[in-house]
Amino acid sequence: MTRPRLSTTDDSTDRATRRSFLAGLGSLGFVAVGTATGRTSAATDSQSTDSQPGEGPFTNSDELEGFVDDIMAERIGTTTPGATVAIVSEDAPILTKGYGAADVDADVPVRADETVFRVGSVGKLVTYTAVMQGVENGVLDLDTDVNSYLGDSAVTVPATYDDPVTLRHLGTHTAGFESALDPDIVADPTALDPLEVVLTNHQPSRIRPPGDLVGYSNYGAALAGHVVAKAHETTFEEYVQSKLFEPLGMTHSTFSQPVPDDQPGDLAAPHVRDGDSFLAADDVYINMRPAGSLSATATDMAAFMRAHLGDGAVGNTRILDADTAEAMHSRHHVRHPAVTNWRYGFHEYGNPEVNLIGHSGATVNFTSYLLLAPDDDVGIFVGFNSNPSEGPKAVVDEIVAEYELQQAATTPTPTSRPGGQERAETVAGEYSLTYLPQSGPLQVVDLLEHLTVEPAANGRLRTTTLEGDARHWVETEPYVYDEVGGHDVLAFEVTDGEVDVLNINSEPTGVYQPVPFHERQLVTGGVLGTALSGFGLSLVGWGGHSAWRQWKQYRTDEGFDTEDSK
């Protein structure tokens, strides 16, 4: 295949820095307690462990491997010390390959079938697959109050609203729990608590009616895992081991922490950047296990993707009925028809009209991305043993673009409906994300992440962030705007001339809501700046006054001494 390589990506690819940090954080949660243990340059060895010819978009597996080798070569040693990749097509793995170093200190290469990566929130897909197994077996129901499954559990969802929280809400992150971002990550494995204790001690407030708005919740995913465990009278780890990992032959996968010594494979070391090189760091542990404690090899993730692409089965092994798999891959919550929405556990990727579904994942120093293209029977998994600003999604974006798994974006056509300038002025304002904390010191993150929308000429919009990310938008339908020079979409929901929510295609994990005037960045910054300036001037004034008095006293004393000496 000799297609020209496209540099475009599906949406607003990696507007790095704080946004990607938070996205990773939101998509799993973390805390870096990484203590550097060594220093070395990143290795760039790569090792192919499995490569078979495939069909579908990948007509030539050697060419695919060459393409992936090229894009990984750009990253190994610069973006990440190591990576693992799995690509499946037509129900068969056509590329599973490790790149770079599993541990820069030990100079151990990544092996796709042996090196275990922490996959973070990609593990939620396993959790929600387990939920769907329960639904299929009649043990669980997506629209029943989750409290009905928690009879003898210490965990109970409070009746804050008339409508109960259901498993459908948990699988689409619409339960309305306040986000804490942190899925209770600990540095010491002895600090790991039973799931029930964690869910009891870290129960968030319900701040929105269920089913209303998307607000990514690690707690919700952990609660779903707990429901699975309770309904089957076992532990979550034991359930997924016996009902998912063993049937699929995912022998190197586990939610257990630390990864047991007798677990097959070797866990890659997490890494932090140190100038031009990487340092191996200490791993951390996630208390809300079903939300992100999964460790797996690329080969195992290939098996998981094959099961989903194979209508719930790999060969003769079935983990979901075809109807159940189809139900899981269908839409369960629509934010807005013009943007990415939620399947069960999966969110849509790129153009919402194209059937691409995926999930990102991150721990403190691991990142991953899983994408399924059911219409093309293609699955892509990429994992890094580091957490750079440009993560594995960028690799997935390049593969999607190269193999045209979705059409390249076209130049947006402005709407012919009059009143564009009025609509632009209606939606102007400042917005905050629902998946960011609304209480505690982390609330400052919400302030820093505000998005400012301003009207521009000809009914266009301009959006900016504190980080200096400025983008321009053209209205293609009333209150729907396409990015100029990009692939992202803004979709406002307006009632009686007031914006209710702003949906952004590239942010499926939440929606933006208008910020009250007194919480806007300019007001907060102005008030804080004025107060601090006043305090500073007062301190300077007091210091100057005190110095002047002491100097005056000194001069007076000196005058007396001079007179005495006469």
Partner 1 sequence: MTDQHVSQQRTEQQHEYDERSGFTHAVKRRLTSASWLAHSASVGLSSVSIGFVILFMVVLETGGDLTLFTRPLPMQIALTLPYLIGALTFGTTVGVLLAWRYRYWSLTTRIHQSVLALLGLVFSWQLTTLGFLPL
Interacting residues with partner 1 (CB under 8 A): 18, 21-22, 25, 30-33, 181-182, 185, 364, 437-445, 447, 518-519, 524, 527-528, 530-532, 534-536, 538-539, 542
Measured CA to CA, the distance from residue 519 to residue 525 in angstroms comes to: 10
Taking the complex as a whole, the smallest distance from the CB of residue 223 to partner 1 amounts, in Å, to: 21
Measured CA to CA, the distance from residue 307 to residue 513 in angstroms comes to: 38
Question: Which of 34/486 has CB closer to partner 1?
Answer: 34
Q: What are phi and psi of 371, to 5 degrees?
A: -130, 135
Taking the complex as a whole, the smallest distance from the CB of residue 537 to partner 1 amounts, in Å, to: 9
Among 6, 9, 5, residue whose Cα is nearest residue 486: 9
Taking the complex as a whole, the smallest distance from the CB of residue 215 to partner 1 amounts, in Å, to: 17
DSSP state letters, 57-83:
T-S-HHHHHHHHHHHHHTTBTTTBSEE
For 289-439, strand residue ranges (E) read 295-296, 313-314, 317-318, 347-348, 357-362, 367-373, 378-384, 429-433
Question: Which of 33/428 has CB closer to partner 1?
Answer: 33
Taking the complex as a whole, the smallest distance from the CB of residue 151 to partner 1 amounts, in Å, to: 34
Taking the complex as a whole, the smallest distance from the CB of residue 296 to partner 1 amounts, in Å, to: 24
Question: Which of 407/538 has CB closer to partner 1?
Answer: 538
Angle, CA 292 vertex, CA 286 and CA 297 arms, to 5°: 110
For 57-183, strand residue ranges (E) read 82-89, 92-103, 108-109, 115-118
Taking the complex as a whole, the smallest distance from the CB of residue 434 to partner 1 amounts, in Å, to: 16
Question: Which of 188/477 has CB closer to partner 1?
Answer: 188
Q: Which helix (H) or strand (E) holds 286?
A: strand 285-286
Taking the complex as a whole, the smallest distance from the CB of residue 534 to partner 1 amounts, in Å, to: 4
In residues, how long is the chain? 566
Measured CA to CA, the distance from residue 168 to residue 333 in angstroms comes to: 9
Question: Which of 25/380 has CB closer to partner 1?
Answer: 25
Taking the complex as a whole, the smallest distance from the CB of residue 524 to partner 1 amounts, in Å, to: 6
Measured CA to CA, the distance from residue 453 to residue 10 in angstroms comes to: 22
- 325 to 136, 330, 439: CA distances (angstroms): 10, 9, 38
Measured CA to CA, the distance from residue 67 to residue 73 in angstroms comes to: 10
Question: Which of 167/279 has CB closer to partner 1?
Answer: 279
Question: Which of 100/361 has CB closer to partner 1?
Answer: 361
Measured CA to CA, the distance from residue 504 to residue 520 in angstroms comes to: 20
Question: Which of 113/449 has CB closer to partner 1?
Answer: 449
The structure tokens listed for 361 are 């994942």
**431 class by beta-carbon count within 10 Å (0-12 exposed, 13-18 middle, 19+ buried):** buried
Taking the complex as a whole, the smallest distance from the CB of residue 283 to partner 1 amounts, in Å, to: 14
The structure tokens listed for 77 are 């040693």
Question: Which of 241/438 has CB closer to partner 1?
Answer: 438
Task: Report the amino acid identity of residue 298.
Answer: A
Question: Which of 447/456 has CB closer to partner 1?
Answer: 447
Measured CA to CA, the distance from residue 318 to residue 74 in angstroms comes to: 38
Question: Which of 181/214 has CB closer to partner 1?
Answer: 181
Taking the complex as a whole, the smallest distance from the CB of residue 422 to partner 1 amounts, in Å, to: 32
Instruction: List Cβ neighbours of 365 (8 Å cut-off, separation of 6 or more).
Output: 32, 34, 270, 271, 272, 281, 283, 385, 386, 387
Question: Which of 534/559 has CB closer to partner 1?
Answer: 534
Q: What are phi and psi of 267, to 5 degrees?
A: -75, 130
The structure tokens listed for 99 are 């790149």
Query: Helices 322-329 and 298-309 meet at what angle, rounded to 10?
Result: 100
**77 class by beta-carbon count within 10 Å (0-12 exposed, 13-18 middle, 19+ buried):** buried
Pairing verdict, β 115-118 and 266-267: parallel
Question: Which of 185/214 has CB closer to partner 1?
Answer: 185
Contact 100, 109 (CB under 8 A): yes
- 539 to 57, 88, 531, 534, 542: CA distances (angstroms): 69, 66, 12, 9, 5
Taking the complex as a whole, the smallest distance from the CB of residue 448 to partner 1 amounts, in Å, to: 9
Taking the complex as a whole, the smallest distance from the CB of residue 540 to partner 1 amounts, in Å, to: 10
SS3 151: coil
Question: Which of 85/364 has CB closer to partner 1?
Answer: 364
Question: Which of 212/519 has CB closer to partner 1?
Answer: 519
Taking the complex as a whole, the smallest distance from the CB of residue 34 to partner 1 amounts, in Å, to: 9
Taking the complex as a whole, the smallest distance from the CB of residue 21 to partner 1 amounts, in Å, to: 6
Taking the complex as a whole, the smallest distance from the CB of residue 533 to partner 1 amounts, in Å, to: 9
